[in-house]
């Protein structure tokens, strides 16, 4: 049996643009785990998915305990769970062993893991401190996480409708995306607004929200009016990082990894910052969603003002 290499994994399973958290903190480990799993085990993507769910359950059990050693352990387990969650999709694309059922299982377990760990963190802090603020933070976190899914799907639908309406007479419609094309670009919790499956099969709901395009850019003019923004986009592209810097992945990691891991600061006499970090994550996600909607609105206005014959 042919041995898979890390270079092959990078070429066949990595997205051309991905979240900075995935590029720098997940892919270096996930890629090597995929090589090991493909060459030395008979693991299936579904088995890896369930392994990620087990680590997620362990994370929730640690986070609800509320004290700093358990919070740090819970943060570490959540990150490792996310790493496995990326491994299963990469393994499916590399070996061609993905299934339609795997799409559904992966999506459902992803959502269960985040809501369980987020709830465990906030409930554990409420039990430990008696501060009702932690309970009040839960509804905004749930709302924003759900909103990014809905917004991503609606932004993508709007973009597709705009493309059809603005297409010049005689212009060929865009080539339908083959499932395997999407597989080369999607990750388990890092798909962009265009719904892409994490396994072979129909499209799964978008999992990083933000209404970004297939390359991770928000809808808008081809080039930014600000040269500094164009330079920033080019610099990010060189590292496979998309310009949508705070989306679903960063939101989940901030809430379930950075917030509980900040408990280590307690050892140095610093105050509990979990509530501040969770609130900041909500504010950042809301800001980036607003930017996406604004860019979409500006793009629609610009396209609507173009003479039909000048439209690409």
The pLDDT value recorded for residue 190 is 37
Domain spans, the chain = 6-310
Domain 6-310 sits in CATH at 1.20.120.1760
What's the pLDDT tens digit per position in 18-54?
999 999 999 999 999 999 999 999 999 999 999 999 9
Lowest mean pLDDT among 36-40, 201-205, 253-257: 201-205
Distances (CA, A) of 175 to 171, 172, 181, 220: 12, 8, 11, 21
Mean pLDDT computed over every residue of the chain:
82
Q: What is the pTM of this model?
A: 0.81
**Of 256, 232, 258, 228, the residue nearest 244 (C-alpha):** 232
d(CA 84, CA 65): 24
Compute the distance between CA of residue 100 and CA of residue 215 in angstroms, rounded to an integer: 24
pLDDT in tens, 116-145: 999 999 999 999 999 999 999 999 999 999
Helices (H), 43-132: 45-63, 68-95, 100-129
Q: What is the pLDDT of residues 157-182, one digit of tens each?
A: 888 887 777 665 555 554 444 333 33
The arithmetic mean of pLDDT across residues 231-251, rounded, is 92
């Amino acid at each position: 049996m042919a041995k898979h290499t890390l270079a092959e994994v990078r070429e066949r399973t990595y997205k051309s643009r991905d979240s900075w958290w995935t590029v720098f903190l997940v892919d270096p480990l996930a890629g090597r785990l995929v090589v090991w799993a493909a060459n030395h085990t008979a693991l299936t993507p579904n088995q890896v998915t369930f392994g990620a769910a087990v680590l997620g359950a362990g994370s929730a059990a640690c986070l609800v305990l509320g004290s700093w050693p358990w919070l740090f352990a819970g943060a570490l387990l959540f990150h490792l769970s996310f790493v496995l969650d990326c491994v299963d999709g990469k393994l499916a694309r590399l070996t061609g062993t993905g299934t339609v059922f795997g799409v559904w299982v992966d999506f459902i377990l992803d959502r269960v893991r985040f809501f369980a760990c987020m709830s465990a963190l906030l409930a554990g802090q409420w039990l430990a401190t008696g501060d009702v603020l932690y309970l009040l933070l839960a509804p905004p976190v749930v709302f924003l996480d759900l909103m990014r899914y809905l917004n991503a799907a609606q932004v993508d639908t709007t973009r597709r409708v705009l493309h059809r309406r603005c297409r010049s007479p005689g212009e060929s419609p865009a080539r339908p995306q083959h499932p395997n094309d999407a597989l080369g670009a999607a990750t388990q919790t890092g798909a962009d607004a265009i719904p892409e499956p994490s396994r072979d099969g129909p499209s799964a709901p978008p999992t990083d929200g933000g209404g970004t395009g297939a390359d991770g850019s928000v809808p808008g003019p081809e080039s930014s009016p600000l040269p500094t923004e164009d330079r920033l986009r080019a610099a990010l592209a060189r590292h496979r990082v998309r310009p949508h810097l705070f989306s679903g992945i960063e939101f989940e990691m901030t809430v379930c990894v950075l917030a509980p891991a900040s408990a280590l600061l307690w050892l140095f006499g610093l105050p509990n910052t979990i509530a501040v970090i969770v609130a900041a994550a909500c504010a950042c996600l809301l800001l980036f969603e607003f930017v996406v909607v604004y860019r979409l609105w500006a793009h629609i206005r610009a396209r609507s003002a173009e003479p039909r014959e000048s439209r690409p």
